[in-house]
Structure 1
C-alpha cells in the first residue's frame, strides 16, 4: 500500500510466493517497488532482540512475546553452530567444544607414554634399582659362608632380594598403552611380589624374636627357628594373597578403560580396577603384613646388635608404611597420568626403602669392614656389647648365631 499527498492510497505488488518453484526462487521480492514512509529510514526489525550467533542459544523472556529473547552462552560440553538456535547440541564422547563453542574438535588420546619424560624417568629408576638389587644379591651369594650372611637367614635374604627385584620391574607394567593383559597383570603381579617381600620380612623378624626369646640350647623351642618354619610363613602368607587375587580376578577383574571426562580435551587410556573392594582388600592385606613385621621388629629392637636386624627392619617398615599411607589419599585425589605416576612412585619408593634400610648396612659390613665379618670379630663384639649392657656376657648369645 502506497499513500499519496491527496489522502489517496493504492496497493502496489512488490513480490510474490510461488509454491511450486525451486527452493530459493519460490519467494520473490522487488525491493525497488517498496516505498517507506518518512518514519522508517530502513527496513524495520521483525523481532525485539538481536540475533544470536553461533556459540549462543535463545533464552525466552518471561512475559514477553516469543520474538523477544536473550542470547545465552551454550553450557559446558555443548555447542551451537547456527544462528538463532533455541537449543545447544552435545558433542560426541570423543570430541569437545572449542573456546567459541561453535564446533566440536577431536579429543587427544593420552596415556603415560614411554617417550615422554614422565614415563622415561620411572623406567630409568626401576632398571637402576633392579640392577642394584641384583648386585646386592650377588654380594650375598659370594659371601654366603660369612657370619654376617648366615646370621640373617640366607634363604630369606635371597627370597627378599629376588622379590624386591621384581617389585622394581613390575612398575614397568604401569607405563604405556593399557591392554587387557597388562591391566590383569600389573596389579596382581605387584601385590603378589610385594606380599612375598613382606612375608619374607615377617619371617625374618619372627625368626629373630623366637631365636632370642623362646629358645635355649637343648629346648624344644629350637624347632621354631628352623628354616622350615620361616619357609612356611612365606608360603602361607603369600598363598593367602594369591587366593585373594584369584577371587578378585574371578569376580570383577581389572580392564582397559577410556576416561573422556576427567580432563577437558583428553581421552585418558588407563585401567579400571574392577572391584574396588577387592583392590583395597589386597592392599589392606599387604599393609597388615607390614604392620605385623613392624610390630615384631619394634619389640626385638633391643636384642643384641650382632645378630639382630630388627632395627633395620623397623626403619624399613616405617618407610614402607609412610609411603603407602600417603599414597592412598593422593591416589584418590589425582586423575589420569598423575594417578598412574603416583602408584609407580609408591612402588619404587617403598621398594628402595626396604633395600636401603635392610641390605645396604650389611653390604657396608661385608665389603668395607671385613674384619667385623668373622667369627672372632663377632665374638669380640658380643662380649663387648654384653658387658656394656649388663656387665656380663649374654648367655648363649654367640652359640645362637650358628642356628641361623
Structure 2
C-alpha cells in the first residue's frame, strides 16, 4: 500500500485554464453573476484558482474610485472579467519566465567560441555579446552540467588579485541581479504592454497620460545621419498638448537627460508614458530611471504599430511642416523648439477638441488637477487631525 507521501508525488497536476474555460468564466461571472464558489463547483476547479483568474482578467480601473467608494461596490462591480485580457497576461508570463533559458546549438557554439578562443569569462560574455542574452550564472550552470565544452587550460589560474577582482565582480553582478529581480517582482521594472493600459487612458478621460517619440534629422543616401541630435516629442493624450525636447544623441544618458527636462516641467501632471519599441526607450536604464526613480509607468506599443500612438504620430507630421525631412537639427536650440511647440499648441483642433486649442484645454485640465489635489490634501489633513 502506498503512503500518503507517495500518493502526493504521483498525483497528477490539473492542466492550466485554457481560452474556452476563460470564456466560460467570463459568461458565468459577468452575465450570470455566479459566485466564485459556484463557478469553481461547476468547472470542478479549486476556488483559489477562480479567484486568482478573476483578478488576472479584471479590467476595472481602481484609480477612478476612492477607497470608500470601492468598498461599497458589490463584488461583481469591482471585478469585470475579460477572458482576452487573462489569456494575454497568462501567455505573456509564460513567455517571460521561459525566455532566453534554452541552450540551442547556435548559442552553445557561440559561448564556446568566446570562452575557448577569445578567452572570455562568463561574466564578460553576459551582457556584452549581443546574441548571448543569459546571465553568467546560467553559463556556469551549463558548464557544470557538461552542456558547454570548455577546453582544459582555458580557465586561467590567475593571481590572487585577479581572483579577488573576479570574485568582487561576481558578487556585484549577483547583487545587481538580485535587486533587479526584486524590482521585476514588485512591478517596478516590468515592461508593460499597451494592452495593460486602463480604460481611463484608452478613452482619454483622465488627464496626465503622455505619448513619447523621437524625431530624427536627415540621413545620407547610405542611411547615415548627418548629425546625432534628435528631438523628443511628447503629447498629452486628453488635451493633445505637444512639447519638444532636444537631445544630443540617442544614447541612454542623453534620452534620460531629455526626459528629466520634460519631467522638471510637467512631472506634476505626468501619470504614465506610452512609447514605441525603439532601443532608446526599451533599455533597462531608461525603464529603471522612469518607472522606479520617477514613479512613472511606461506602456509599450506593439512593434510596427504607429496607429497605437496616433496622437504623437499626427503631431509629428505637423512638426514636419516646420522642420521638413532632409534638414538637420544642428542650428535648432531649445528656445526655438519651445516657440515652435507653442505655435502648434495654439492651432484649433476641429474634430479631436471640438474647435478648441490644445493650450487652453491643457490649462483647464491642469487647473482641475491642482484643485483636486489641494482638496484631497485638506481632507487627508483633516482626517489625520481627528
TM-score range, shorter chain: under 0.3
When normalised by structure 2's length, the TM-score is 0.19
Name the structure, 1 or 2, with higher relative contact order (CA <8 Å, separation 6+). Answer: 1
When normalised by structure 1's length, the TM-score is 0.18
